[in-house]
Every structure is written in structure tokens, then in C-alpha cells.
Chain A
């Protein structure tokens, strides 16, 4: 029951935002409903920890460790983004009349994001991912400027183009499942139980199609070109959701599929995942060196982290899988904090250019401090959680004998670290430009940033028992040895 509530409260909230009398309190409705949804996701996670899974409708809506982790991340990040949106969307020249439309659409996006990990059938998960793409496209285009529309168009074409390709992949998977005697409904659990008897040719072909189709949505290089545009042009709370969790959700589907394929003895593709992942990390690391827009900087860092997660999953050991799911968690919480901070910088100074931001510490100590914290955390400095998960991925890679891959990955991570810190250094220190008008950051934004910073600081030094058990459970679903 808690699972269904966690999914359907965002939908309820989206419907409520349509009612004319309620349009003045859309923000309140959204925050209230999403908070309940988050609480329900926490309770679902508790249920998963006790029973191994949580089943609402058998064969249709159920989550295991991995699904529950993704659901938890979706609701957590979207709740904070909703809180942040309160101050941000009222700021600046946004038209007030369309605000209800923004919140309604955002709630639909949250619903679509939450429904993907909860669906047991791969075909329906495809539909969920498509809905995510559509609502996200509308939100990127929300501000209707030339830049926003261009970004939305690029994103729509490149990511929707992946839809039919992935659809054929899922249909071939269905064929593989039924031609090898799978009688019951096709669910992720049934598929992993059957994986060793399915035809490896069919499995490989279908995985290839799904990987190409959804890889574009994850933003894996060379299909990443839409990502920095979309993630820099959308309103900031949307950016936080897009970069923090919207790329993770299709990646979750890919990892699910990967675990099925890795269990099939003849279809060896782990090393390919390592190569493709490293390619993404490399492209992102070198593009990070030469960005001029700080929102684009954080967007490229998303490409980097998606690549790292894919590399870890490609190592295909249990240790590396633990690193991969931990990296998923840490990236989501840290990246959303990064975008809130970027949004505050934008509100304070009104520019997106790195070169026009100087001496942020003097202009606004709160914003400067947040920027220092989040960029150290996202670049992977100790004692932040991303450092821990990256370190465990690297050591797992060494232990499974992928020495060259680990060496390349470590080098690229360092390049990305240097790139991010060099840009941020220029933004934080030095003399502020005297002419820049400074505006105060609204209270709701400060609240969201403080709340988002809590897990980023805490998980670096202390991982609570339940979180660790949930990560362990999720890593088991990835099927490494």
C-alpha cells in the first residue's frame, strides 16, 4: 500500500494543480504531496529491508532493493526541488499565471520518474521512461526563450529517437523470454531467473537496441550533446531533477537489463560497458576543462558520473556493483545540491558565465560556502560520499584485474577534479565586480539547500546501517559475482 501511495501522491498533486480555486497554493500542494510521497518511499524501503521486496500488485507493481533505492532517490530529490522552486519560480520575470502549469507538469514528471522503478514489467518501464522524456521536454521549454526552445528541441529529437529503438529491444527480449519457455508474465525477476536458458543471440541483440535507445537518454557519449543544453536552459529546480535523477532512471533500466545479460554465460559484454563508460568519462572530463557556463559545468559532470557508474557495472563483481549503486545514490544527492547552488548564484548575480562571477565569498558568504561544499563534493574530494564510492569502484576494479581501465578511470577523474576546482576557484575568490547588483536568496531556497547538504555531509563520514543494507540489497540485484 505504501508503494502505491508513494507513486500516486505526485499524480494526485498534478491533478490538484489543475483546479482553478487551488491555483494560488500550488506550491504548498506540491510540497505537501511530495513530502508524503517521500515518507511513503521511506516506509517502502523499510519493508524491503525486512522482506527483501515490497509487492503492491504481484507481477505489475513491486520493488526490490534496487527499485526501492531509485524510488527513494526520486522522491527525496523531487521533494527538495519542489521546496527550492517556491522561492526560485517567484523570482525574476516568470509569468505568474503559468505557475500552476509548471507545478502540474513537474508533478507529472515526478510521477513518471517514480513509476519506472516500481513497474515489474520491462515493457511498461519503457512507457514510463518515455513519459519522463516527454514531461521533461515540456519543462525544459517552459521559459519559452530561444535558448530554452532550442535545448528542448535537441533533447526531444535525440532522446525520443531512442524510443522506437529501445521498444524493438524490449520486444525482442519478450520474444527471447517466451521462446525459451517462459510461461508466466514477463517481469524483471522472472527474466533474471530465466537468463541462462534464453538464446544469447537474442539477448545480445535486444540489449544492444535498448542500450543505444536508452543510452541517449542517460547522456552517454557520443549521444550526450543534448544534455548540457537542456540541463543549463531549464529552470533550476528542473535542472536539479534532470541531472540528479532523470538520467539515473533510464540507467537503472539499462543496469537491470545488464544484470540479466551478465548472468547468461555466453553473452560476455561487461568489458564493452567498461569501454563505453570510460569513453563518456573521458569526453566529459576534457569538455569540463573548457566550459564557460557553470550550469553546463555541472551538466558535463553528470555525463562523467553516468560513465563511472557504467564502468563499475561493467566490472561485474559484487564489490563493484556496491560501488555502482553507492555512486548512483551519492551522485543524485550531490548533483541536485550543485544545481540548487548554481540557481542561487544565478539569482544573486544574474549571469551564467563563469568569467563574470568573481569573489563570491565576499558578495554572499552563504552562496559561496554552498558552492565550495558542493563542488568539492561533486569533484570527489574526501571526506565526501562520492570520494568513498569512487574509491571503492577503483579498488574493486583492481581486485577484478581491470588494471588498465582503473588507471584510465583514475586519471580522468583527476582531470575532471582539476577542471571543476579551477573554475570554482575563480568564482569564489578574488575581487567581486562592484557594479553587480546583489539580490538576497529567498528563504525556501536556503532551506532546500540546507536540507540537501545534510546527506552530502553525513554520508561521507557515516553510513547508517539501513542505508548500507539497502545498498547491499541493490548491489545483489545487479548480479555481480
Chain B
């Protein structure tokens, strides 16, 4: 009986891993800032779900706490903080400029996901734990795809969400490979993520007020050339 329950939980965890990858693709495919933000919130929910599942399976209080921290920080605090600090027009139906168009981006994201699987395969050989087999490759894929959307997007807020999505990837792998990390470390890391959002949010606001645009591409004053 216990065995089938474990299997069910592992299956559900694999499902949330797949959904996390799907939301990462969703972030790459969306053109609206608000849409990217929604995908990020959904992704954080799946991350919390995975933490609850593994925590329940292993009877680990740490992971249950981490799931709660994730919901508090990434589903509630960060979207709220960004809504408060940033002017509303950054959110409203804003079309994001991209260096590479969306179909090619999706293809690249797919390649990154495959690359992640290859990169971690020597590590997976050291363990038979199915949870690690599900979470580590998807976590790394989340980091790589988040990093890609950070580079490809030219708008401040989607860049910030790209960073946060990368953190989600790192956490998703982390709950599988380091489930008994000291709680204080988890707590401090979660606070740190919120701080990142606050600082970058404030910076974005200052940039919009001073320069008048949040397009990172339009900032190109500093370079190795003599000033006129």
C-alpha cells in the first residue's frame, strides 16, 4: 500500500515537473508582460506543489515549509511588490520587443531543454532516486530557458521575471537534491529572492522616470568610444 502511494506521489511530482517545463515555454511564447507574469505565478505554484509532494513523501518538514515560503514569496509577495513599485503602464497590454521571433525562440528553448538533459546525465548515473531524475534536468532546463528569455527580451520587467524564473529552476532542482538543507538557509535564500525583486523593481522605476522608457535596448550610452 505504501509503495503504491509513493508511486502516485512520484507520478504527480513528474507531472508537476512537466508542467514547470511547459510554463517555461509559455513565458518564452508570450508577448504580453502581464501574460509572462501569470505564467511565472503558475510556475511558482507548481514548484510549491512539488515541494509539498516530496516533503509529504519523505516526511520532511523542511520541504513543506519551503513550499509555504515559495507561495508566500513568489505567488503573493513578489507580484504585489512589483505592482506597487512599477507604474501601471508597464503592465498594460504591452507588447514585448524580442531580438529573435517567437517560433525560433521556442525552438531554441526546446534545444536548451534537451541540452539540460544531456548535461545532467553523468550526474543522474550516481543515483536511482526517481525524484532527482525528474527534477534535476527540468530544473536546469528552467535555468537555461529563463536565462535565454533574459537575453532575448529587451524590456525591463520581463528581464526581471526571467531572473525569477531561473531561481524557480534552481529551487526545483534543489528540493530534490538537497531536501534537508538547513531551514535558515532556505529562509534566507527566499528573502533574498524577494529583495532581488524589490531592488530591480525600484531600479526599473527610476529608469522609467529618468530615461522615459523601460526598453533596455535604448540604453547604450556607455561604451569604449570618445564622447563627442
With A141-B206, A144-B210, A168-B174 known as contacts, the answer to whether A156 contacts B222 (CB < 8 A) is no
Could you say which residues of chain B place their CB within 8 Å of the CB of A355?
226
Query: Least Cβ distance of B58 to chain A in Å?
Result: 14
Question: Are the C-beta atoms of A202 and B185 separated by less than 8 Å?
Answer: no
Query: Least Cβ distance of A60 to chain B in Å?
Result: 9
A164, B161: Cα distance in complex, Å: 13
A154, B195: Cα distance in complex, Å: 18
Question: Are the C-beta atoms of B143 and A165 separated by less than 8 Å?
Answer: yes
Question: Are the C-beta atoms of B203 and A153 separated by less than 8 Å?
Answer: yes
Question: Are the C-beta atoms of A146 and B210 separated by less than 8 Å?
Answer: yes
Could you say which residues of chain A place their CB within 8 Å of the CB of B210?
144-146, 149
Query: Mask for A180-207, Cβ within 8 A of B = 1, else 0?
Result: 0000010000000000000101100100
- Interface contacts (Cβ under 8 Å), in number, total 145
Question: Are the C-beta atoms of B221 and A292 separated by less than 8 Å?
Answer: no
A400 at the interface (CB under 8 A from B): no
A229 at the interface (CB under 8 A from B): yes
Contact of A353 among B123, B166, B227 (CB under 8 A): B227
A324 at the interface (CB under 8 A from B): no
A274, B155: Cα distance in complex, Å: 37
Question: Are the C-beta atoms of B226 and A353 separated by less than 8 Å?
Answer: yes
Question: Are the C-beta atoms of A153 and B173 separated by less than 8 Å?
Answer: no
Within 138-183 of B, Cβ neighbours of A (below 8 Å) are at 139-140, 143, 146-147, 150, 156, 159, 163, 166-167, 169-171, 173-174, 177-178, 180-182
Query: Least Cβ distance of A11 to chain B in Å?
Result: 15
Within 105-140 of A, Cβ neighbours of B (below 8 Å) are at 121, 123-124, 126-127, 130-131, 134, 137-138
Question: Are the C-beta atoms of A141 and B196 separated by less than 8 Å?
Answer: no
A202, B184: Cα distance in complex, Å: 24
Interface size class of A (residues with CB under 8 A): 35 or more
Closest A residue to B164 by CB, please name it. Answer: A164
Question: Are the C-beta atoms of B167 and A167 separated by less than 8 Å?
Answer: yes
Question: Are the C-beta atoms of B143 and A168 separated by less than 8 Å?
Answer: yes
Q: Which residue, of A124, A174, A296, has the highest number of chain B Cβ atoms within 10 A?
A: A174
Query: Least Cβ distance of A92 to chain B in Å?
Result: 18
B72 at the interface (CB under 8 A from A): no
Query: Least Cβ distance of B117 to chain A in Å?
Result: 14
Closest B residue to A166 by CB, please name it. Answer: B170
Could you say which residues of chain A place their CB within 8 Å of the CB of B178?
171, 174-175, 178
A450 at the interface (CB under 8 A from B): no
A298, B220: Cα distance in complex, Å: 21
Contact of B219 among A134, A153, A168, A287 (CB under 8 A): A153
Within 48-103 of B, Cβ neighbours of A (below 8 Å) are at none
Contact of B207 among A123, A149, A179 (CB under 8 A): A149
Contact of B163 among A163, A199, A229, A292 (CB under 8 A): A163
Question: Are the C-beta atoms of B203 and A201 separated by less than 8 Å?
Answer: no
A147 at the interface (CB under 8 A from B): yes
B200 at the interface (CB under 8 A from A): yes
A448, B76: Cα distance in complex, Å: 47
Query: Least Cβ distance of A474 to chain B in Å?
Result: 26
B3 at the interface (CB under 8 A from A): no
Query: Least Cβ distance of A188 to chain B in Å?
Result: 14
Question: Are the C-beta atoms of A127 and B143 separated by less than 8 Å?
Answer: no
Question: Are the C-beta atoms of B126 and A179 separated by less than 8 Å?
Answer: yes
With A146-B221, A164-B143 known as contacts, the answer to whether A152 contacts B227 (CB < 8 A) is no
With A127-B192, A171-B177, A171-B181 known as contacts, the answer to whether A202 contacts B206 (CB < 8 A) is no
A168, B226: Cα distance in complex, Å: 41
Could you say which residues of chain B place their CB within 8 Å of the CB of A353?
226-227
Could you say which residues of chain A place their CB within 8 Å of the CB of B139?
168
A469 at the interface (CB under 8 A from B): no
Could you say which residues of chain B place their CB within 8 Å of the CB of A156?
199-200, 203
Query: Least Cβ distance of A267 to chain B in Å?
Result: 12
A233, B226: Cα distance in complex, Å: 16
Could you say which residues of chain A place their CB within 8 Å of the CB of B123?
172, 201-202, 205
Query: Least Cβ distance of A301 to chain B in Å?
Result: 15
With A153-B156, A163-B167 known as contacts, the answer to whether A130 contacts B225 (CB < 8 A) is no
A163, B120: Cα distance in complex, Å: 19
B127 at the interface (CB under 8 A from A): yes
Query: Mask for A339-370, Cβ within 8 A of B = 1, else 0?
Result: 00000000000000101000000000000000
Closest A residue to B144 by CB, please name it. Answer: A165
Q: Which residue, of A123, A165, A175, has the highest number of chain B Cβ atoms within 10 A?
A: A175
A124, B224: Cα distance in complex, Å: 37
Question: Are the C-beta atoms of A161 and B150 separated by less than 8 Å?
Answer: yes
Query: Least Cβ distance of B222 to chain A in Å?
Result: 4
Question: Are the C-beta atoms of B216 and A153 separated by less than 8 Å?
Answer: yes
B2 at the interface (CB under 8 A from A): no
With A164-B167, A167-B189, A355-B226 known as contacts, the answer to whether A123 contacts B181 (CB < 8 A) is yes
Question: Are the C-beta atoms of B196 and A179 separated by less than 8 Å?
Answer: no
B1 at the interface (CB under 8 A from A): no
Could you say which residues of chain A place their CB within 8 Å of the CB of B224?
228, 287, 290-292, 296
User: Residues of A at under 8 Å CB distance from B?
Assistant: 121, 123-124, 126-127, 130-131, 134, 137-138, 141, 144-147, 149-154, 156-157, 160-161, 163-165, 167-168, 171-172, 174-175, 178-179, 185, 199, 201-202, 205, 228-229, 232-233, 287, 290-292, 296, 353, 355
A-B contact list, 19 entries, CB within 8 Å: A124-B185, A127-B188, A138-B199, A147-B221, A147-B222, A149-B203, A149-B211, A156-B200, A157-B159, A157-B216, A164-B169, A167-B167, A171-B174, A171-B181, A172-B123, A205-B120, A228-B222, A228-B224, A353-B226
7 closest Cβ contacts across the A-B interface?
A164-B166, A175-B177, A150-B219, A171-B174, A164-B170, A168-B170, A174-B178
**18 new A-B pairs (CB below 8 Å) besides A147-B221, A147-B222, A164-B146?**
A124-B188, A126-B189, A130-B195, A137-B203, A141-B206, A145-B210, A146-B210, A149-B219, A156-B199, A161-B163, A163-B166, A163-B196, A171-B177, A174-B178, A175-B177, A201-B122, A205-B119, A353-B227
